[in-house]
Structure 1
Amino acid sequence: MVQTLPLVRRREVDPARLDAFLGQMIGDLGATVSAALVVIGDRLGLYRALRGGEPVTTDELAARTGTAAVYLAPWLANQAAGGYVVYDPATRTWSMTPEQEAALADPDSPAFFPGSMELALGVLRDVSAIEDRFRTGAGFGWHEHDDGLFSGTERFFRPGYVANLTGTWLPALDGVVDRLRSGAEVVDVGCGHGASTTLMAEAFPESRFLGLDYHEPSIRTARVRAEEAGVAGRTRFEVADATELPPGRAALVTMFDCLHDMGDPHAAARAALRALSDDGTLMVVEPMAGDHIEDNLHPLGRVFYGASTLVCTPSSLAQPGGRALGAQAGPAALTAVLRDAGFTRVRVAITSPVNLIIEARP
């Protein structure tokens, strides 16, 4: 049966408003194309070679990085047009400000951003598959995505965890740091490549850590990361569903940016409750969001709603339950999930510009 669309009444276009909107879309197009160039610059060490503030010519940068000047010339011009590097027309040289370096050239900076572009490119490779799911309503599992999503996610989230996890977020939870210092069992659910697990293990040498994720390739990578960090003796990584947690001993269960991706977040929360000791704590780290759509209609909300459409909602729909909370669930919806699961004390412990950190107790 062929669907018939209703007739659309032609409306008058305001030329000035149209020009402004087209200007906005041109900016979006430039940003989309430039994401690929950021990834190339990161992989080839082009940003790192520009660190220090010393201006260089195109040929000097080419010699420094072992790349071809004929490709560097338009790459550099694109970067300058986007405000990612600085061009001096008087000397025809290129350089970076300290702020540009922090965002593009320093992987240890909490502002480091190329991982997000790697993540975005990985997701965009799956556009045809997501388009098909729009028609069918079916899911598209995390494991089905391009590998760029997995590595990009680790590199995108890790700087924020380095900056905040042990210094700010865990201390915001009542009594948790003292327990970790004296020695405790910790379960990190949805651990991915193990960035959060490994950082906690490095900070609290008396405690023991178990990282769980249903994605076997990520678990293999997490084991390598733990070896590299020298904490493999106190960490284990296992392939498991979020509803399959060991019962009853953990002082802390953590869920970093994953509860909203789960098909049945209520079941995952109930499993976390069962895994905790009577005085244990669940820490849920989620994307920053308000409780209503209108609260999130800003640039960060645009990013998270995009992620929800392309990754989070399809992932949830591919799992039993298919709840599809999405990346902008908000504190009210998250609190309701945790209370429905049996937690009696739930609060937003602290926030960052991009995260909600929720503490839940039995």
Structure 2
Amino acid sequence: MTTSADTDVPDRRAVREFARHLFGVYTAGGLTMMIDLGHRTGLFEAAARGPATSAELAERAGLQERYVREWLGAMVTGGIMTFDDGRYTLPAAHAAALTGPGSKNMAPMAAMVPLLGRNLDAVAEAFRNGGGLPYDAFAPDFTGVMDQLNRRPLDELLVDAWLPLVPGLTERLAAGARVADVGCGTGHAMVILGKAFPASTFTGYDIAEDALAHARAEAAAEGLTNVRFERADAAAFRPAEPVDVAFAIDAVHDQVDPAAVLRGIHDALVPGGRFVMVDMAAATDLADNVGNPFAPWIYTISTLHCMTVSLAGGGAGLGAAWGKELAVRMLGEAGFGEVAVAPAPGQALNLIYATERPG
């Protein structure tokens, strides 16, 4: 006869297999910080110039050989670089994902792990007592990390790949339109669009003054007179004049009152005005995210930043995995018309939502 005690004993092989998996998870977390170091110190760019000894690579990057050699040990055993006859090589395919100005460079993403890890004690306290961590708890580094994450994809994809997904939008911007970016961060999207469409005017809105200072400085450096920035809570977005086009790029899900943000954007648009929202590529139902390779990352950054920032203000706490189904429903509840949803070309972590205020 089998007892409940017998069935509660786990299979030893299953335990060993899971333990190996768990150690792999921990190892990946450590390697992420090593990748961040390689990006910060220029080691990947130096390694991309060709095979080198540890001393040669240290000289290329202007670093201490002993540190470089130990870092290289992690890179080789972690499958990121190779080692043969005393020389270390960053394979071309790996260099493409870790170097260069394009959207394929994933090295800046590594900085999110140590950045979010700084607040683990405070997040654990919120688990016990509720509430959350306000945006200021992640300052000042969060602004720079997010700018680095978004800058390359926006440079490469925004005008040539994302705008054409919305029929007539490129033509509308070329002809001249009033454009708003709600939750603009460092404002790089508005700078790109301001340069590409000089007949239009662009205003970015954000609550973070350090991000806005960066945005204003970049627009001034580019000599753009059709781009400006204002400090405003996204939930209180009320432009002086109606706008023809509005953007919200990875900005809605971590708001205290996302429903109010969407209603405000709807009300600010002229009839027939277009709204383009870029947000995480996830489903609303957890069961539909099982097997999504990006889901563990989305839920993690949500727990450690997006959700807790909203809850800190007594907000909805939607989180980054609020998902396509809920997003479409909330857009409808805000008054928007039909919503078209498409994967963001070149940016698998995102979906692009396109809709309009009915005329």
Which TM bucket (shorter chain)? over 0.9
Structure 1 residues 213-222 or 111-120, which shifts more?
111-120
Corresponding residue for 2:72? 76
**Structure 1 SS opposite 2:355:** strand
Corresponding residue for 1:201? 194
Match of 1:49 among 46, 49, 54: 46
Structure 1 residues 140-149 or 262-271, which shifts more?
140-149
Whether 1:60 and 2:56 are equivalent positions in the alignment is yes
Corresponding residue for 1:304? 298
Corresponding residue for 2:229? 237
Match of 2:354 among 347, 351, 359: 359
**Structure 2 SS opposite 1:258:** coil
Whether 1:22 and 2:16 are equivalent positions in the alignment is no
How far did residue 349 of structure 1 move?
4.4
With over 3 angstroms needed to count, the CA separation of the structure-2 counterparts of 1:18 and 1:36, relative to structure 1, is: same
Runs of 4+ displaced beyond 4 Å: none
Q: How far apart, in 2, do the equivalents of 1:303 and 1:29 lie?
A: 14
The one-letter amino acid of 2:67's match is: Y
Gaps in structure 1 of 5+ consecutive residues: 1-7
Q: How far apart, in 1, do the equivalents of 2:52 and 2:27 lie?
A: 25
The one-letter amino acid of 1:94's match is: Y
Corresponding residue for 2:273? 280
Whether 1:148 and 2:141 are equivalent positions in the alignment is yes
With over 3 angstroms needed to count, the CA separation of the structure-2 counterparts of 1:128 and 1:276, relative to structure 1, is: same
Please give the residue correspondences for 1:194-343 in structure 2 after superposition, counting only pairs within 5 Å: 194-228=187-221, 230-242=222-234, 243-246=236-239, 248-297=241-290, 298-319=292-313, 322-343=315-336
With over 3 angstroms needed to count, the CA separation of the structure-2 counterparts of 1:200 and 1:180, relative to structure 1, is: same
1:297-356 CA distance string (max 9 Å, x none): 233100000011111111111235x11111111221001111111112222145442111
How far did residue 26 of structure 1 move?
1.5
Q: How far apart, in 2, do the equivalents of 1:157 and 1:10 lie?
A: 50
Whether 1:37 and 2:29 are equivalent positions in the alignment is no
Percent identity between matched residues is 30
TM-score (norm 1): 0.91
Residues 33 and 113 in structure 2, CA contact (< 8 A), matched pair in contact too: no
Residues 32 and 110 in structure 2, CA contact (< 8 A), matched pair in contact too: yes
Q: How far apart, in 2, do the equivalents of 1:13 and 1:341 lie?
A: 50
With over 3 angstroms needed to count, the CA separation of the structure-2 counterparts of 1:225 and 1:31, relative to structure 1, is: farther
How far did residue 218 of structure 1 move?
1.0
Q: How far apart, in 2, do the equivalents of 1:319 and 1:248 lie?
A: 29
Q: How far apart, in 2, do the equivalents of 1:211 and 1:126 lie?
A: 29
1:18-61 CA distance string (max 9 Å, x none): 22111111111112122222222112111111113x21001111
Gaps in structure 2 of 5+ consecutive residues: none
How far did residue 120 of structure 1 move?
2.0
Residues 143 and 210 in structure 2, CA contact (< 8 A), matched pair in contact too: no
The one-letter amino acid of 2:295's match is: G
1:116-174 CA distance string (max 9 Å, x none): 11122111111111111111210212222143322111211222223321112111112
Corresponding residue for 2:152? 159
Calculate the aligned-residue CA RMSD, in Å: 1.8
Residues 49 and 65 in structure 1, CA contact (< 8 A), matched pair in contact too: yes
With over 3 angstroms needed to count, the CA separation of the structure-2 counterparts of 1:113 and 1:273, relative to structure 1, is: same
TM-score (norm 2): 0.92
Aligned residues: 349
